[in-house]
Amino acid sequence: MKCVIVSNRLPVTVVEKDGKMEFARSSGGLATGLDSLKVPGEKHWLGWAGWQAVPAERRKIRARLKKLGLYPVFLTPEHIHNYYEGYSNSTLWPLCHYFLNYMSCNKDYWRSYCEVNELFCREAMKIIEPGDQVWIHDYQLMLLPGMIRARCPEVSIGYFHHIPFPSYEMFRYLPEREEILRGLLGADLIGFHVHNYMRHFISTVYRVLGMECRLDEVILDNRAVRIDAFPMGINYDLYHGVSDLPDVCEKADELRRLAGDSKIVLSVDRLDYSKGLLPRLEAYASFLKNHPEYREKVTMIMIVVPSRDKVDIYAGLKTRIDELVGAINGAHATVNWNPVHYFYRCFDFEELAAVYSIADIALVTPIRDGMNLVAKEYLAAKRDKPGVLILSEMAGAAADLDQAISVNPADRWQIEEALLKALKMTVKQQKNALAVMQQSLARKNVACWANDFMGELRQVTERNLEMNRKVVDEDGLKNILTDYREANRRLLVLDFDGTLVPLSKNHAQVKPGRKLMNILKCLAADSANTVEICSGRDAASLERWLGHLPIGLAAEHGAFFKEKGVWQRCYEETAWDAEILALLENITHKTPRSEIEIKKTALVWHYRQVDNWLAELRINQLINALMAPCARLGLSLMRGNKIIEIKPAAYNKGTEIRRLLEKNAYDFMLAIGDDTTDEDMFAALPPGAVTIQVGCFTDKTKYTLSGQKDVLPLLAALGKSGMYRKRDRSLFNPVFSRVSVRL
């Protein structure tokens, strides 16, 4: 088994030096984290090497990189313009950072994005084999999980989104939203930095694709996609120990001389509109104006790393930063003091570590950021020196760093107040806050992040494999049919909604079709069979639809049952408490498209047509409100498939199964159901029974079916199989082959 990492860029860049190709190793957080990743087999990394090479050079580059376990993808200038600068950074980047006014929708961009994702897929398939683990990174490759899944279903695929994931209201602006989401759902595990992004993604999948989402999972036909949050850390030991290095100490002394005796406020960011650079400078200018006592006592070191500055939006941003820095220095500078020392260039690791170590305050105020590792690097590099972190509440890092001074990055006055608060903090206060955050960073480092993700990916993959092992495939169907044919007395217990008939948004309009009726007649015609429909439906509905068939019927989860043509009552009708009815009526009034169903022994609140977010809110409100009166009256609260049911606790589908087993002995028992209300039925059957869950994986049953559409072919196979005598073995295979094709 191999671990294949796929990202837009390799952890090395091909550069030309003195006419020769050289490979420069990346020191970024992703490269560091994945270097420390522990996997059972080999690690391979696929990505763009940042070099537009001719075919002869490509062979040479491939050969050299392969020795390092690296596999390059080569992009054309057109790809770089349309895929990378275009769809990735002019469509997805502004969308995910909530800058719709900067978002460009261009069909050429989209075509190129699809082409490059397909190119990555073709290159990946050269090294991927069944059983491998594939870890795909970031927004440039959101189609890739689905592409790889289509070509090799037997791989374990993880995807990590390193930038924010926007709310549904924002994501719906993307014309290709469905294609992007389906591409991501090719993964087994999708990771985000924080739970907010995870929540946005699940909400978007539900609203855009209409797929079933259960807490942290999206349920597909044959597997579940897990969604989780994995806050990315840093190489804590590296940054924590760097301030003692001679080169770092030397550079720190140079920077300290530059600032003089002033307190240093540090700003480090890439040139990007999402980083809040202009509001940050404006807040600093306002601070100097409103607090003249700090003039010549505070200096900002502002490092802006060049990024796409030939693009108009970025070039314009740089111009405005240059102008604002000039205006601040022009208004406040003295002979001995510059308020802002501005560096528009990359700092190497030693320089950055040096400025971290001497900075008294780190001002990190992005308008929207996936994580922001600068904040974490600053804290680690401080070691035991005092320092204060002012952090935007919009950065993913804010979820972990609760000892930082939190600010709204759009509120200039709040940033100004935070600067004043930071400057007035005592050394003891600063060190106490730093110690708490440093302990957290040491535990949740980048190696922990990488290994946590891959550990959960292994768990999810194993669960999906277990789910697939339970699916009624050709071998499973053959075993069921063999046991069925050889049995002399059989019990078949079938749920109705979601099992025999599809679930409907309007439960009152559901009725059995001709195909189902013919199958039930065929099964009931076999004298060896006892067939029973055990449903939550009321007795009148079951009698109207199925009463003419020679089968057993159990209504309201076994409160009523039909035997020898006569309906029997197990329990007295319930006189519903006025308080409970009032609570249900109130929640229904406040929840559009919900409704109450009043049965003789149960009350049901239906919310199949209700928006998912609103439904979850109302469910919690309803359950909390009903707990006390239900406990007082001895009633149970049961959450089923898009329903909340209130009924006496003394009976359920399990009690009906026990009643049937007390009357007769059976050598073949089968039960099929689709939701939590059927679990009592499964539990009441002996271990040898054939129990089948429809639609999702559960530990409660022996088998699963991917959906309701597979139930009737299975029952038809049982009916046809029972028509042949045991000695007619030659007729088994034709029956099996005709039915298995439809499963």
The Cα diameter of the chain in Å comes to 107
Does the reported pTM lie above 0.95?
Answer: no
- What single-letter DSSP state applies at residue 289? H
Same domain, 641 and 660: no
Residue among 681, 639, 646 at smallest CA distance from 496: 681
The model's confidence at residue 599, banded by pLDDT at 50, 70 and 90, is confident
The CA-based dihedral angle spanning residues 722, 723, 728, 732, taken in that order and rounded to the nearest 10 degrees: -60
Domain carrying residue 182: 3-229
Strand extents, DSSP E, 120-173 = 133-137, 156-160
pLDDT at residue 48, rounded to an integer = 92
Please provide the DSSP assignment of 679-713 as one string: HHHHHHS-TTSEEEEESS--TT-SEEESSGGGHHH
pLDDT at 85 exceeding the cut of 80: yes
Distance CA 301, CA 299 (A): 7
Q: Is residue 455 part of a domain?
A: no
Q: For residue 49, give the H/E element and its range.
A: none
* Number of CB atoms found within 10 A of residue 85's CB: 15
- What single-letter DSSP state applies at residue 284? H
Provide, for the chain, the percentages of residues in helix, strand and coil under a 3-state DSSP scheme, each rounded to the nearest 5.
50, 20, 30
Name the catalytic one among 495, 497, 538, 678: 495
Same domain, 173 and 45: yes
Same domain, 583 and 672: no
Distance CA 158, CA 174 (A): 23
674 labelled catalytic: no
Distance CA 359, CA 268 (A): 11
The model's confidence at residue 19, banded by pLDDT at 50, 70 and 90, is low
Same domain, 33 and 157: yes
Q: Is residue 451 part of a domain?
A: no
SS3 154: coil
Same domain, 517 and 532: yes
Q: Which two three-digit tokens encode residue 397?
A: 């890092």
Q: Which CATH number is 108's domain given?
A: 3.40.50.2000
pLDDT at residue 51, rounded to an integer = 73
Of 444, 461, 496, the position where a domain reaches its end is: 444
Give pLDDT tens digits for 336-355: 999 999 999 999 999 999 99
| C-beta separation of 720 from 735 below 8 A | yes
Q: Is residue 460 part of a domain?
A: no
Same domain, 14 and 146: yes
Distance CA 330, CA 272 (A): 25
The model's confidence at residue 26, banded by pLDDT at 50, 70 and 90, is low
Instruction: Give me Rg for the CA atoms of the chain.
Output: 32
Distance CA 693, CA 707 (A): 9
The model's confidence at residue 20, banded by pLDDT at 50, 70 and 90, is confident
pLDDT at 166 exceeding the cut of 60: yes
Averaged pLDDT score across all residues of the chain: 90
Q: Is residue 59 part of a domain?
A: yes
The model's confidence at residue 107, banded by pLDDT at 50, 70 and 90, is very high
Distance CA 652, CA 70 (A): 59
Among 43-52, 80-89, 433-442, the minimum mean pLDDT is found in 43-52
pLDDT at residue 122, rounded to an integer = 97
Give pLDDT tens digits for 301-313: 999 999 887 788 9
Of 229, 252, 276, the position where a domain reaches its end is: 229
Of 624, 648, 672, the position where a domain reaches its end is: 648
Q: Is residue 629 part of a domain?
A: yes
The model's confidence at residue 735, banded by pLDDT at 50, 70 and 90, is very low
Same domain, 133 and 260: no
Distance CA 706, CA 686 (A): 24
Q: Is residue 450 part of a domain?
A: no
pLDDT at 378 exceeding the cut of 90: yes
pLDDT at 503 exceeding the cut of 70: yes
| C-beta separation of 481 from 716 below 8 A | no
Please provide the DSSP assignment of 628-649 as one string: HHHHHHTEEEEEETTEEEEEET
Q: Count how many domains the chain has.
A: 4
pLDDT at residue 196, rounded to an integer = 93
Same domain, 247 and 219: no
Give pLDDT tens digits for 435-461: 999 999 999 999 999 999 999 999 999
Give pLDDT tens digits for 121-164: 999 999 999 999 999 999 999 999 999 999 999 999 999 999 99
Q: Which CATH number is 542's domain given?
A: 3.40.50.1000
Q: Is residue 96 part of a domain?
A: yes
The model's confidence at residue 198, banded by pLDDT at 50, 70 and 90, is very high
Q: Which residue has the tokens 């275009």?
A: 86
Q: Which two three-digit tokens encode residue 641?
A: 């498939």
Q: Which CATH number is 609's domain given?
A: 3.90.1070
Strand extents, DSSP E, 478-564 = 490-494, 529-534, 552-555, 560-563
Same domain, 497 and 630: no
Residue partners of 346: CB distance under 8 A and separation at least 6: 305, 306
Q: Is residue 281 part of a domain?
A: yes
Distance CA 633, CA 577 (A): 9
Helix axes 312-332, 277-290, angle to 10 degrees: 10
pLDDT at residue 115, rounded to an integer = 98
pLDDT at residue 529, rounded to an integer = 95
Residue among 341, 340, 337, 357 at smallest CA distance from 349: 357
pLDDT at 100 exceeding the cut of 80: yes
pLDDT at residue 695, rounded to an integer = 81
> b/e per residue, 252-265, with b = 16+ CB within 10 A?
beebbeebeebbbb
Percent of the chain scoring above 90 in pLDDT: 69
Q: Is 210 exposed, middle or buried (0-12, 13-18, 19+ CB in 10 A)?
A: exposed
pLDDT at residue 517, rounded to an integer = 95
The model's confidence at residue 738, banded by pLDDT at 50, 70 and 90, is very low
Same domain, 672 and 633: no
Same domain, 428 and 562: no
Same domain, 74 and 203: yes
